[in-house]
Amino acid sequence: MNHAPTSVLVIDDNDDLTENIVEILDDLGVYVRVAGSGEEALEIFDERRWDLVVTDVRMPGINGIELLAQLKERSPGTPVLVMTGYADRDTRAAAHRSGALAVVHKPLDLEAFIELIERVSAAETPVLIVDDDDALCSNLTDILGEQQGVLPHPAATLELARRLAACVDFHAALIDLRLPDGDGLSLARELERRADGSRRPVIVMTGYPEALEGAEEGVEVLAKPFPVPNLVERLREIV
């Protein structure tokens, strides 16, 4: 691994699994801490800045989805991977709604798991994805996460998106127009202009593109439904 995170917090009550992960990451020169519960994880999390958090879903006390939400309250920009042996649709949706970077299945394919960690650690281009459609947001997050150098930050609400934008200097943003707590165009206007006066590429997604004709110079409009490969190609051009 050429670009490893310097610090990773692993949260799981399965001792055999965590020992295996720690051994692998130790060999890569990564500083690793382990917590066996959500409560213990919250105490450790506050000790320092973490480059990556990896958490199981089913644990005693606070479960992984509840923990994810609390971690995002404390540090919205910290990437969090969720592990689960029960990756049903509801679990995946809840994880992505709370801002998970990815959901990985147990039993872990450790080689693929390390490759995922490597992609996260090497990413230098953060991209904000704001959409309350769980399937679309998850799909876009997974696809962009596979692009070299790109680190997607998903959010299902304006509230989480604004907290992310306050601590991450996004290279670009992809925002749905209709969100549960407001109008995505207002967020697009906030993000399109950086503090230094430069422009940030912003794409607003909507099923009603005619409503935005001429609404805002500098904000690109993408009509739903759209071919995902076309979007990925467009994002490659701007990131």
Q: How confident is the model at residue 211 (pLDDT cuts 50, 70, 90)?
A: low
Q: Which residue type is seen at 210?
A: E
pLDDT computed for residue 213 by the predictor: 65
**165 has a pLDDT exceeding 90:** yes
- pLDDT of 108 reads 86
DSSP secondary-structure letter at 108?
P
Work out the average pLDDT over 35-59. 95
For 150-166, the DSSP string reads EEEEEESSHHHHHHHHH
For the cut 80, the answer to whether the pLDDT of residue 219 exceeds it is: no
What order of strands is seen across the sheet that includes strand 7-11? 31-35, 7-11, 52-56, 80-84, 102-105
> What domains sit in the chain, N to C, each tagged with a CATH number?
7-122 (3.40.50.2300), 125-238 (3.40.50.2300)
C-alpha span between 12 and 17 (Å, rounded): 8
Q: Six-digit token pair at 74? A: 């404390």
Q: Give rounded-to-5 percent helix, strand, coil for the chain.
A: 40, 25, 35
Report pTM: 0.89
Confidence of residue 28 (pLDDT cuts 50, 70, 90): confident
* Dist CA 236 CA 37 (whole Å): 39
